[in-house]
Amino acid sequence: MLGLVSAKTTPNATPQHVSFPQNDNCIHKKGYETPSPLLKRTPSPSFAKPKIKPPNKTLQELRTHESSLDNPDLGPFLLKLAIDTVASGDDHNKALDYAARASISFEKSSGPGRDLAMSLQVEAAIYCSMGRLEDAIPVLKRSIEALDHKNGSDHAVAKFSGFMQLGDTYSMLGRVDRSISSYESGLKIQTETLGDWDPSVAETCRYLAEAYVQAMQFDEAEKLCQRSLEIHRVHNAPASLEEAGDRRLMALIYEAKGDYESALEHLVLASMVMIAAGQENEVAAIDVSVGNIYVSLCRFDEAIFSYQKALTVFKSIRGDDHSTIASVYIRLADVYCKTGKLRESKSYCENALRIFSKPVRGSATEEIASGLTEISAIYQALNEHVEALKLLDMAMKLLKDTPGQHSMIAGIEAHMGVMFYKVGRYGEARSSFKNAVAKLRASGETRSVFFGIVLNQMGLASAQLYRIDEAAQLFQEAREILEQECGSCHLDTIGVYSNLAATYDAMGSHLFGFIIPSNQAKLFIFYYAWQSFCIGWFLLLVHRRCLPGITIPFPPLNIYSRCS
């Protein structure tokens, strides 16, 4: 009989992550500091913001006019007061009050326009600094509606800034689809105002490309990154730092798409630029990325050499206890695990955990959580499932109250679901997958390959709990997504075909005598079961013929016999 197929959950498989834990994922425009292993976002690009000059009056003089907020001198003064209050670290509630009153004053005195929009954007920024992200969104929308970018460059500047700030806020809330939509609107205004080849447009293109990478929409990310690269070639000398930054992002995109040779080519070119510029820190970060590519190409000796080079530089610059050192230890542990040197692998994991247990000041919570997740994957490959689950739980607790980490938390929950499934705790596995699916739906990542794989895994857990109807629905949704994103001949899609066939088969045998007396209904179920079976096995035979030695892991699971 047919068995269920678990896509990419073999013991040595790397778990699916929504985030991309490489050392060069964030490309800073200035300074080119080595980023954390997480894909952090560069600051939102913007035009030079016009400054609102406050009047040369004292607060006591203006208080006499507060009863009438249409006083044109009151708005600029209150806005400056709000900014100064935030800068001095005083009470944010007081700063918020100043900004809100400034917005009211601008609205009454001058109506919709640039000044009102700038005041509303300051008010929204204060909301964000207080963690009140939901409250910031309607304020930012008001600031955008108060402007018409066709009324001059000042309006275009403010409206562009509003869209980018709105995109950042949506991103922190985990609403990736709305975040990207806001960035695209900002890019459109910037392009209409400055033209297609302005250097600022390149900066925004790269920023939007990073957002697409986070959403795992790599084709769109590649187009935007290529556009940024072309603009930088026009405005900068050959082999500029800006071009190197674009190439590092392009390498990340190609790596995610599985085009490792192209990724390696971009990294080598970027490394040459950084060496010429004397950026040792960035050269080391690129060496880590080169090592990652070598691992993907199974060139393990070269990968170890690249990692050791990077480790030597990082230790000389940052000391032995920096989180960047821990991230390189994790890379080395992974390589040694893949090559069967388990003692060395575990030793490097312990060294990384020692650093994470006492993080240096300034270490990012997301970076530590990502590192714990990667170590957990190695312990899972070493069959130490209890320790792996403990590390995942620690990572979840670190990210629990961190805004903008919905996708990463979903990835960790999906990983925990896989581990629960492997040890036979199917109820907990289904619960973890369900939470991950809910977070991915909320963040708008419902068309990614990762989402399809999580649906497939949740279907497996549901089948083990005899929730056959639910499993069939999950497999069907996973099938639609993977067919669109990967194609019918991809191994993950073939696995879902087989799972769907087995589920329809089980539904038919289980329901015939009780729920489905109709012969037409029986034929309907058998038709879909047979269709999925034929598609899956035909494509499997094609793969085995074209790629000898490729096998698909069929776990010893037969839901037909369990449900009959």
Q: What is the pLDDT of residues 59-70, one digit of tens each?
A: 444 444 445 556
Residue 454 lies in a domain: yes
Sort 72 into a burial class: Cβ within 10 Å, 0-12 / 13-18 / 19+: middle
Sequence-distant (6+) residues with CB within 8 A of 523 are none
The angle at the Cα of 434, spanning 372 to 496, to the nearest 5 degrees, equals 95
> Beta-carbon neighbour count of residue 468 at 10 Å?
20
Q: Is the pLDDT of residue 404 over 80?
A: no
439-458: average pLDDT: 87
Residue 23 lies in a domain: no
The angle at the Cα of 64, spanning 61 to 68, to the nearest 5 degrees, equals 125
Provide the pLDDT confidence category of residue 442 given band limits of 50, 70 and 90.
Answer: confident
> Beta-carbon neighbour count of residue 18 at 10 Å?
27
CA-CA-CA-CA dihedral for 208, 267, 9, 346, to nearest 10: -120
| pTM of the shown model | 0.72
Q: Is the pLDDT of residue 552 over 80?
A: no
More confident residue, 62 or 460: 460
Query: What are the two backbone dihedrals, phi and then psi, of residue 391, each rounded to the nearest 5 degrees?
Result: -65, -40
Sequence-distant (6+) residues with CB within 8 A of 148 are 155, 159
310-319: average pLDDT: 93
Residue 428 lies in a domain: yes
How many whole angstroms separate alpha carbon 533 and alpha carbon 512?
A: 20
Q: Is the pLDDT of residue 26 over 80?
A: no
- DSSP symbol at 512: T
Q: Is the pLDDT of residue 353 over 80?
A: yes
| pLDDT value of residue 503 | 85
Query: Average pLDDT, whole number, for the chain?
Result: 80
> Beta-carbon neighbour count of residue 519 at 10 Å?
8
| AA identity, residue 239 | A
Tell me the pLDDT tens digit for each residue of 98-154.
999 999 988 888 778 888 999 999 999 999 988 899 999 999 999 999 888 778 888
Provide the pLDDT confidence category of residue 223 given band limits of 50, 70 and 90.
Answer: very high
Sequence-distant (6+) residues with CB within 8 A of 107 are 116
How many whole angstroms separate alpha carbon 347 and alpha carbon 350?
A: 5
Do 440 and 407 touch, CB atoms closer than 8 A?
A: yes
| AA identity, residue 94 | K
59: helix, coil or strand?
A: helix
Sort 186 into a burial class: Cβ within 10 Å, 0-12 / 13-18 / 19+: buried
528-543: average pLDDT: 54
Q: Is the pLDDT of residue 563 over 60?
A: no
Q: Is the pLDDT of residue 186 over 80?
A: yes
**Which residue segment(s) compose the domain that 459 sits in?**
1-18+405-564
Q: Which one, of 287, 256, 292, 258, lies nearest residue 270 by Cα?
A: 287
Q: How far is CA 300 from the centre of its chain?
A: 27
Provide the pLDDT confidence category of residue 45 given band limits of 50, 70 and 90.
Answer: low
56-79: average pLDDT: 60
Provide the pLDDT confidence category of residue 88 given band limits of 50, 70 and 90.
Answer: confident
Sort 319 into a burial class: Cβ within 10 Å, 0-12 / 13-18 / 19+: exposed
- DSSP 3-state helix, strand, coil percentages of the chain (rounded to 5)? 70, 0, 30
Provide the pLDDT confidence category of residue 408 given band limits of 50, 70 and 90.
Answer: confident
Residue 43 lies in a domain: no
| pLDDT value of residue 310 | 96
More confident residue, 237 or 284: 284
How many whole angstroms separate alpha carbon 295 and alpha carbon 415?
A: 21
More confident residue, 182 or 547: 182
Q: Tokens 């369990």 belong to which residue?
A: 562
Q: Which two tokens stand for residue 294?
A: 């070598």
142: helix, coil or strand?
A: helix
When divided into structural domains, the chain yields a total of: 1
| pLDDT value of residue 509 | 52
Sequence-distant (6+) residues with CB within 8 A of 22 are 37, 39, 252, 255, 288, 289, 292
Residue 440 lies in a domain: yes
Residue 560 lies in a domain: yes
Q: Tokens 């596995």 belong to which residue?
A: 429
| pLDDT value of residue 34 | 33
Do 56 and 79 touch, CB atoms closer than 8 A?
A: no
CA-CA-CA-CA dihedral for 48, 53, 59, 60, to nearest 10: -170
Q: How far is CA 81 from the centre of its chain?
A: 37
> Beta-carbon neighbour count of residue 180 at 10 Å?
21
More confident residue, 532 or 172: 172
Residue 115 lies in a domain: no
Q: How far is CA 293 from the centre of its chain?
A: 20
Which conformational region is residue 217 in: left (phi greater than 0), alpha (psi within -120 to 50 degrees), or beta?
beta
Residue 45 lies in a domain: no
| CATH number of the CATH domain containing 12 | 1.25.40.10
